[in-house]
Structure 1
Amino acid sequence: MNTQDVIRLASQYLDNLSGHTFDVLDISKPVTIDAALNLTKVISKLSPLLGNLIEFNTVEFLNKQNEFSEFGKWQRQDPGFPDTIFVGKVQPTPGLEIKAWFPLATEITARFKDSQNHFQYDQTYVAMLAWLPEKIIYGKPRILDICVVSGLSVALARDTHYHNPPDYLVLEPEDTTQRTANLQQTNTSGYKFQGSVEEFLEAQKIVDSWGVEGKIYKPTREYQHLLRELLSQYKYRLDTNFAKMDRIVHPGIKKFKQRVYNIEFSSITVSQWNRLLSSRREDSIKKSLQDYLEIREESIDELLD
């Protein structure tokens, strides 16, 4: 069994988790429509916690599969990248970066910043797990769908999408190989041009002097030197939204997102739930919660009895 065999087998098992309910947390059913409405406004805040719990359980799930036991064991890295690696006889070491997505949020907010240079053997893959509570806003977390894509392909799509000198620079981390493991830098960063029109035209002439090949992104030291010269000569701001999964324009992630939005959940699609619950039409939200989630309006007196 080689690295790609391990990743392929893990992907197959993860695919089988679609529809699976994780018994890690149970959100109680709201007792009134007003309570349900309030829950819709805060339920997404559970995503980081449940994402971590799903991550823990996913590693345990993979380690229960007998096919892996002969060659090694899945092991979490906390902190570290990727989230879990397959420690054993297989080299280079296979890894999975696990990202949970709550599709009632505005977008896939998880980020992927690691440099292309970390995926030269295509040994690390990204596993995205879309989840919702069993009853949209309450119940146990249920996996809707799963997408497993190459980490290298995500990094390439990200850098190709963002890279646009001199307007936008994608910079590799500095060389920190001499530092201890906890101080080594692995993340790329994005910078947006903030200079004047005149300065932009000057910077554009510099980029044009690089030739056609010079406009193609490269994670090499020589090419990064060219980008850092622009950064040192002109005004740029660090882009805090850089590398959000929803903005990388990766075809596999895009298809996965659309697939999840088309899933029917309590008689309407996830996309329709997303639009409804993110709207400000509280009357429509209350009616939908009553119709589909069987939450009835109750008076204070009923609750106190």
Structure 2
Amino acid sequence: MNDGADNSQNEAEGGDGVANPGHGAVDEYRAGFVTFVGRPNVGKSTLTNALVGEKIVITSPKPQTTRRAVRGIVHRPGGQLIIIDTPGMHRPRTLLGERLNDIVQQTLAEVDVVAFCVPADEPIGPGDRFIAAQLDEAPRAKQVALVTKAEAVPKERVGDQLLAVSELREWDLIVPVSALGDIQLDTLVRELIALMPVSPPLYPTDTLTEETFEQRAAELIREAALRDAREELPHSIAVTIDEVVLLDDGVTREVYASIVVERDSQKGIVIGRAAERLKGIRQRAQRELTAIAHAPVSLSLHVKVAKEWQRDPKQLGRLGF
């Protein structure tokens, strides 16, 4: 990370910008699990990718983009962080929404640290207070508050948000950060590692995620499909990988995938006039797949309808939820 960004932020905050300092000394190797929780679109996935150093979870301004618990591993000489990126906590309207909240609750019960994320550029609201109260479900975990998107507002507003967050509950640590501005990311990693139990490394040093190529491919295709999607369509999109074929050259992959929607009208929207929208999705996703494969990838897409799959237990099971 950029040490210069950390230093400039420290000076701007009149210190290291960390409430409850003193956790930073790491005398023994430490390793453990942290999860970022918060409302949808508070920057959890963007922060995960920035800390891991590679795009392992998709990002989108659309609500409920994250649908699974994805592990990313951060390696430092003094320790290892396993970040579990989870769906945003929300009041569910479908069976899918209930299952996404179940993922969050299960994760809260298992991690060593819970990091509650609140963006610097939005006032704290009922949703934030609801989630802060839910942290009582994680009594064994240390609890940290992160003011995200610190680059988006003047430092005075960051300070105001830090104060507002401090009044929600008792925290072991409060840190302002910015994934896009590379503000205090090294500080955050250092402080989180200091909160972890003494432990040998839990993953090999070359491992950044447990996600398979197929899992990452499905998510990157969905990310491409979410772009420009409007109204309820983002919630209705799922992706399945039907087949991955390794060609005779031993490096080139052919990926065959399906974009799943809930209604025939949505199928037409995804395909677009003269299949132009589907072509754009394929081109964007193919570039991303080639990047994570570090080799050529040829992507074939088709769109199919699974009626009301968000509310159908059997359909949800087939789609991996």
Same fold (TM over 0.5): no
Structure with larger Rg: 1
